[in-house]
Structure 1
């Protein structure tokens, strides 16, 4: 059967054919008997009516149906787990993100990481040159030199004291000087370490130091540019472990009581139609936002293949633990728009007939059908887009 919206045109065509037949019959009356007109008109009307009632929908051979990937599903009422569906935004896991800034002010002399790079823990992101670090290196070298001198003086004093060449107080003075030199050296080492530097092995003061990644992840923010000044107050990089992401949503008051921490949830994004990502509710805020009158909630979702990107919009379906009354539902992919009307294809009369429906909410990848279908109908669960394309093509052909 053709699309339902074509019925008025077909009816008009039938009426036109009938009128033409009657006209011809009346014309024939002028050259014959009056009774001869009735069979002619009746035959024409019968042909027109037969054409008007022609049914069967889109016809496909078994080979064409297999090529189009058509799969049927017999409808039956089924129960569904009660769910709450909310719109959400994907965020990085805030427990696995690091904002990397230098401990001391320095000029950026080298950048080794780019935005989007996957880095390991301890990997160098940039190199900076710091005057304060150079001074700390010099102070450490002076302290190390003083410690070596004090160590040498103490050893000599020990030998002389053992031979009773110098008094005991000289030995005590040498020991005190050594302890002071060791304390100064350790203080210089601590200062250098706190500034993010390490003692130079070459013996020369080094003013450069590396800025490293504190954890393995992806560089999601980069502000480092060679020649600019890096400061402790302004992170140069942000590194995030995106193997798990947070799906952040806001629950309205009517949905709040139905969502519990630990509830299973599924997430869909427009970038991957038909795919569902499983997660679990890990957080529901204790307070309501006074402006939006909503409560923030969080779903944690594994993301090992890194396909879910921060700041993507998503739709999250959260299970409440309750069960709904049985209802008819079709795969959401089977529903499409034909002339603005949600429609599915139904196998009927040896063909595939488009059937307008009144869709309800989506639950678990299926769409509840309020009206337009009945139990036992065979719905095209897969391959509906191929049928839609054939239908539109046939309509275009008829238009010409």
Structure 2
């Protein structure tokens, strides 16, 4: 002890004290407990990890696929609206004002070209039929006078001027009869012979298709200015979309395209771009484009909203994609499940284009990640159940 109290000993003791103090400070720094935020984060990661045994994974039908970069066709995806094919579309209205006495066609009916849709009575048509019958009678009289004059002038019983007068009357009556016939045809009716003039006429469909609109009611007065029926051939429909200026250079007429609608999840309707407008809409700053799609089964209805994917003819390299069913919504965020060592982890992702039943993932995963491609709904249900249990 006396040696330590000497000048050399005191220096050694001070050095030991400083070393002990530094050691204590360093130990405190390295061994300090984790913060509350770090603990909460670790606990959240642990709670979101879903652990399943091999038997449970098999019962849930889980399938896992390691992500591999691949080349994929470049597509332009836009929202669109289904429209009737305007080349096979007709508004049907009477040519002359009349009162509806019978409505034959119903909304949604399939009709043939020339099929009767409704029957109307028209005063103007009755007058035209009456005028035709009068012209027909006058023509018969003029024809008889001319025939008699022809015989008499041949026998030199009447002068030549009487024969010429009869001939002129015949030509006049023939012209009046032809004018009466033409007027009836313009009114959409057929000339009728002797008897009482009919004011009734049939309104017929100009093409084969489906009655998609009907405004005809028995007893109402209808005229040429109001369409009573709308008939459309829906076996081939138009998908109308608007292309922004940055997408215009990527799309061309004839490009293959596919269309999806919310009514038929997972079903893609194939078509081609048939038209791109030549004028930019100054209000929306977009250019209209049209895709024609076969619709023989009638599943696509006019005015449905749709999503159109148009191929640009180019390819993208290094794309990561998964089946559409692998991407789920968790709290409004697109998510996939990735297999880790101890279980399955929900991973938020940014989805991109969809093509051929697969969804491109822009971010959230890396090549080599093992993503659940089947059975993801079972994992989602298990995760939600565990979260509800934690809350209670």
Task: Tell me the residue number matched to 2:353.
Answer: 362
Tell me if 1:8 matches 2:43.
yes
Task: Tell me the residue number matched to 2:105.
Answer: 113
Task: Tell me the residue number matched to 2:96.
Answer: 104
Please list, as runs of the form range in 1=range in 2, the aligned pairs for 1:264-283 lying within 5 A after superposition. Answer: 264-283=256-275
Tell me if 1:197 matches 2:179.
no
Of 339-348 and 328-337, deviating more is 339-348
Task: Tell me the residue number matched to 1:77.
Answer: 69
* In structure 1, distance between residues paired with 2:375 and 2:190: 65
After superposition, the CA RMSD in angstroms is 2.7
Shift of 1:72: 4.6
Task: Tell me the residue number matched to 1:389.
Answer: 381
Task: Tell me the residue number matched to 1:185.
Answer: 177
**8 Å contact kept, 2:75–2:353:** no
* In structure 1, distance between residues paired with 2:333 and 2:276: 38
Shift of 1:193: 0.7
- Give the greater-gyration-radius structure (CA): 2
Task: Tell me the residue number matched to 2:119.
Answer: 127
1:256 to 248, 252, 255: 248
Gapped regions of structure 1 (runs ≥ 5) = 13-52
Of 390-399 and 88-97, deviating more is 390-399
Shift of 1:121: 0.8
Report how many residues are paired: 351
- Structure 1 length as normaliser, TM-score? 0.79
Please list, as runs of the form range in 1=range in 2, the aligned pairs for 1:189-268 lying within 5 A after superposition. Answer: 189-200=181-192, 203-268=195-260
Shift of 1:178: 1.6
Distance 1:123 1:10, change over 3 A: closer
* In structure 2, distance between residues paired with 1:294 and 1:320: 18
* In structure 1, distance between residues paired with 2:135 and 2:157: 29
In the TM superposition, what whole-angstrom CA distance separates every residue of 1:295-339 from its partner, at most 9, and x where no partner exists? 112111111111111111111111111211221111122100234
* In structure 1, distance between residues paired with 2:76 and 2:46: 46
Tell me if 1:301 matches 2:297.
no
* In structure 2, distance between residues paired with 1:221 and 1:266: 28
- Structure 2 length as normaliser, TM-score? 0.81
* In structure 2, distance between residues paired with 1:379 and 1:213: 57
Task: Tell me the residue number matched to 2:162.
Answer: 170
* In structure 2, distance between residues paired with 1:329 and 1:172: 93
* In structure 2, distance between residues paired with 1:331 and 1:177: 86
Task: Tell me the residue number matched to 1:353.
Answer: 344
Determine helix, strand or coil for the equivalent of 2:317. coil
* In structure 2, distance between residues paired with 1:201 and 1:57: 91
Of 364-373 and 190-199, deviating more is 364-373
In the TM superposition, what whole-angstrom CA distance separates every residue of 1:331-382 from its partner, at most 9, and x where no partner exists? 1221002344432234666x97243142231231322224444444443333
Task: Tell me the residue number matched to 2:4.
Answer: none
2:137 to 145, 153, 156: 145
Shift of 1:138: 0.1
